[in-house]
Amino acid sequence: MLQNSSIRKSLDQYIRQRIKEIPSEVKQTFPNIKQIWKCGNEQDFLYGYYVGKIEEGALHYLLKATRASAGGYVDTFEIRGIIETHKIKLQETIKNALN
């Protein structure tokens, strides 16, 4: 489905925008991760959390943009792959938000 370059570019822009929003979200939503969530590695926890959130948002974004059905043209593995192309930026953003 994402072979259409305009859809791919639009999805990529959506992911970049979501990554930019993470620092303010981390400060508001996760003020004391270790104490409240009882996790040993804050970065890994938030990375997994935000990959899932971005994937969910991207799926909704694509469904709206293409007016497709969930079972039809949208491949969630392809969405995850696109998110993973931004892995380093996402990890850096989370690290900076925690500091």
Cα distance between residue 38 and residue 30, in whole Å: 12
Helices (H), the chain: 5-29, 33-37, 42-66, 76-84, 87-98
User: For residue 71, what pLDDT is reported?
Assistant: 47
pTM, rounded to two decimals = 0.79
Where residue 68 falls among pLDDT bands split at 50, 70, 90?
A: low
Question: pLDDT for 31-46, tens place per residue?
Answer: 666 666 666 788 888 9
> What is the average per-residue pLDDT within 35-60?
84
Domain range annotation of the chain: 5-98
- Is the pLDDT at 93 greater than 90, yes or no? yes
